[in-house]
Amino acid sequence: MSRKPKKGYFVRGQFVAEGSELDLELKRELKGTDAASKTDLKRESAELQALGEALLTLRAGLFDKLDLGDKLKDAVEEAKRITNFEGKRRQMQFIGKLMRGLDAATLDTVRSALDEQNRGPAQETAVLHDAERWRDRLIADDDALGGWIETHPGTDAQQLRALIRQARKDIKAGPPGEAPRQGKAYREVFQLVRAQLSVHGTDDHAAEAAAQSREEDA
C-alpha cells in the first residue's frame, strides 16, 4: 500500500512539509516581514496625514506656488471652511488619501514651504532680540557706535549719533532712584537698528569683534 504524499511546498528546491519545524519557521519570518511592512505603511500614512493637515496653516503666498493639483487644493480650501468636527475629520482623511498620491518631489516642496513659513517667526524674534541688545549697548558704550557703523555702513550715522545723545539725556533727566526714563529717542534707536538688522540679518559677530577691538585699543 503506497503512502499518502505529504502536503507541502518547495522553497529554493527544498520540499517543506506543512506543519514541520521549517514550515513554522518560514511562516514566522513571513509574518514578521508583513508586520514590519504594515507598520511602515501605517507610519507613512500618519506622516502624510499630518503633512496634509499642516497645509491648512500654510499662508496663501506659499500655498499657491505648490503644484498639488486642483483636486487637492480644492479639498484643502474646503477643509478650511468646515466647522463641524466630524465633517472636518472626514475631509482631513480625504486630504490624507490625496496626499498619498503625490510623488516624492512634490512632497519635498510641501515640506520646504512649511519650513520656510516656520523660519519666519524665529528670524523675526532673533532680529528683535538683537535690536534690543544693540540699542542698550549703543546707548551705554561710546565705542559700540564705531563697530556698528563699520559693519552696517547703510546706517545714517549722523542720525543715529544724535538719537543716542538724546536717549542718554532722557535717561539722566529721570528722577533719582527711579527707573531710567525711556523717551522717544530710546525707541527710535531701537527702530533704526531693527531696520538695519532686518535688511542685513542678525549675524553681527563682526560688529561685536570690531567694537571689542576699539575698547581694547582705548
Cα dihedral 103→108→114→117 (10° resolution): -130
Query: Is residue 209 left, alpha or beta, with left meaning phi > 0 and alpha meaning psi from -120 to 50?
Result: alpha
pLDDT band at 35 (very low <50, low <70, confident <90, very high): low
pLDDT surpasses 80 at 133 = yes
Question: Within the chain, which residue ranges are assigned CATH 1.10.60.30?
Answer: 10-102, 121-217
Bridge partners, 15 (sequence order): 10
Fold of 121-217: Diphtheria Toxin Repressor; domain 2 (1.10.60)
pLDDT surpasses 80 at 138 = yes
Mean of per-residue pLDDT scores for the chain: 79
98/91 Cα distance (integer angstroms): 11
pLDDT surpasses 50 at 211 = no
Question: Residues 177-195: pLDDT tens digits?
Answer: 565 567 888 889 988 998 8
The fourth-level CATH superfamily of domain 10-102 is PSPTO4464-like domains (1.10.60.30)
